[in-house]
Structure 1
């Protein structure tokens, strides 16, 4: 694989949404939603059907690629371990923000990343409601691509002082004492929230409307595309210990900020895990 057909990949995400996701939005029956690991971790018929469409498309477009879908991994967790050694892998979240989707909220998206020899080389985040894509290829910047063909480059904004920072803080996967400590420290920033949808959190970060994001649980379908998008938009991203976040990582936390100095300040003063 020398070049990626990004347009074909983007169209594939749209196809899955049009065929399988949007017709089910606010139209799910009781049997169409199931609990996976806990009450806030759901899967719907739309997730599974959309993943089948995307997988079939990847088999046509990139037949040599290892396909890693969130729902495929739910059925076969051993798939995760194959990312590290794969020459080429395509990693997909058919609906990011399933809890929101099942609740009838418009904060959900379709995410795809392409990993070559252990490095994320492309990331796509499609918003079915807005019908647009946030797309990044390594070394080519971050772009908001609209259905009419218009493109707008995405860039982070400079970090203000700590007391004026606003951002995403997902604290739900820490142990209780660590969570209490971080939540207390977060009083030092202006505002923090969680949309329960990494797809939209990364998009709004890359557009310069927020300053930071912190995640503890790192599943590749949730964070590879968004981390590349942020880096291509000018942000600094690293795990809590300062090491790079790589496609095979599932722990170690992730902190993203407009620059390294802001990252270090947030790490030392707020996210002291």
Structure 2
């Protein structure tokens, strides 16, 4: 690794952004503070942009040589995405994951950060501003839920059961209509599926053993790098739809997460036939 990663300092930085820029605006957004990006369900708020500015400044102080890739930065300069694969060190940030929920006054939103070293995700943080706790991961060091009182709990996915009893996350909105119809029909074979429109909380639920699987089609690095590493360290099987490894520069190919390889294969063959 090209630099020492102070995961605690990065975690505290996300908390600072929430306290200073995000929470004061929660349920307090004024007219013009919410704007549409690509469609009505793809929003950006003043809180997203202000939080990203604060986080970017903090990352520059902690890791001055790192490439900074934020969701809002990429909206302004899409070429940043292409620089992740070759960067010696990169920090990828989603200042508010679940912006639609945030703008709607729902508490299901989080702040996400991943550290990539030479094309490999090596650390991640998922912070919940409402619960004021963190899910932290470092490659080879496990995934941990860290509470504000200092207590820690190691995250571990739950053992896989039969398909008809599985509960999970299925984000089908970015498939073409025929594929979406087929997958939604197949999903009748699982016990329950949903989408919280917030990968931050979905990954945390998986890592705490409350869900059996998650499926995503759209892969933006700020949405999935921290969570994918977290799930691997929590014991899950994580791969793209074709079975290949998910890497930081991937933006296509889908992502399927399950408790073990056999459950992953069954879900892939019986449910998520793209």
**TM-score category (smaller protein):** over 0.9
Offset, 1:30: 1.6
- Aligned partner of 1:182 in structure 2 is 183
What SS class does the counterpart of residue 143 from structure 1 fall into?
Answer: strand
User: What TM-score do the two structures reach when normalised by structure 1?
Assistant: 0.99
Q: After alignment, is 1-10 or 45-54 more displaced?
A: 1-10
- Aligned partner of 1:8 in structure 2 is 9
- Aligned partner of 1:142 in structure 2 is 143
- Please say if 1:227 is aligned against 2:228: yes
RMSD, aligned α-carbons: 0.5
- Aligned partner of 1:257 in structure 2 is 258
Aligned length: 273
| Separation in structure 2 between the aligned mates of residue 188 and residue 101 of structure 1, nearest angstrom | 32
- Aligned partner of 2:171 in structure 1 is 170
Runs of at least 5 residues in structure 2 that lack an aligned partner in the other structure: none
Offset, 1:151: 0.5
- Please say if 1:17 is aligned against 2:18: yes
Give CA deviations for 1:173-214 in whole Å, capped at 9, x if unaligned.
000000000000000000000000000000000000000000
| Separation in structure 2 between the aligned mates of residue 19 and residue 9 of structure 1, nearest angstrom | 15
- Aligned partner of 1:248 in structure 2 is 249
Offset, 1:148: 1.4
What SS class does the counterpart of residue 91 from structure 1 fall into?
Answer: strand
| Separation in structure 2 between the aligned mates of residue 55 and residue 148 of structure 1, nearest angstrom | 27
- Aligned partner of 2:133 in structure 1 is 132
Offset, 1:3: 2.6
- Aligned partner of 1:202 in structure 2 is 203
| Separation in structure 1 between the aligned mates of residue 10 and residue 111 of structure 2, nearest angstrom | 11
Offset, 1:262: 0.2
- Aligned partner of 1:104 in structure 2 is 105
- Aligned partner of 2:92 in structure 1 is 91
| Separation in structure 2 between the aligned mates of residue 197 and residue 99 of structure 1, nearest angstrom | 9
Give CA deviations for 1:25-58 in whole Å, capped at 9, x if unaligned.
0000121000000000000000000000000000
- Aligned partner of 2:120 in structure 1 is 119
What SS class does the counterpart of residue 160 from structure 1 fall into?
Answer: coil
Alignment of 1:147-166 (within 5 A): 147-166=148-167
| Separation in structure 1 between the aligned mates of residue 262 and residue 4 of structure 2, nearest angstrom | 35
Alignment of 1:46-57 (within 5 A): 46-57=47-58
- Aligned partner of 1:77 in structure 2 is 78
User: What TM-score do the two structures reach when normalised by structure 2?
Assistant: 0.99
What SS class does the counterpart of residue 218 from structure 1 fall into?
Answer: coil
- Please say if 1:66 is aligned against 2:67: yes
What SS class does the counterpart of residue 32 from structure 2 fall into?
Answer: helix
| Separation in structure 2 between the aligned mates of residue 44 and residue 36 of structure 1, nearest angstrom | 10
- Aligned partner of 2:28 in structure 1 is 27
| Separation in structure 1 between the aligned mates of residue 193 and residue 77 of structure 2, nearest angstrom | 35
- Aligned partner of 2:192 in structure 1 is 191
Offset, 1:246: 0.2
| Separation in structure 2 between the aligned mates of residue 34 and residue 81 of structure 1, nearest angstrom | 26
What SS class does the counterpart of residue 124 from structure 1 fall into?
Answer: strand
Offset, 1:2: 4.3
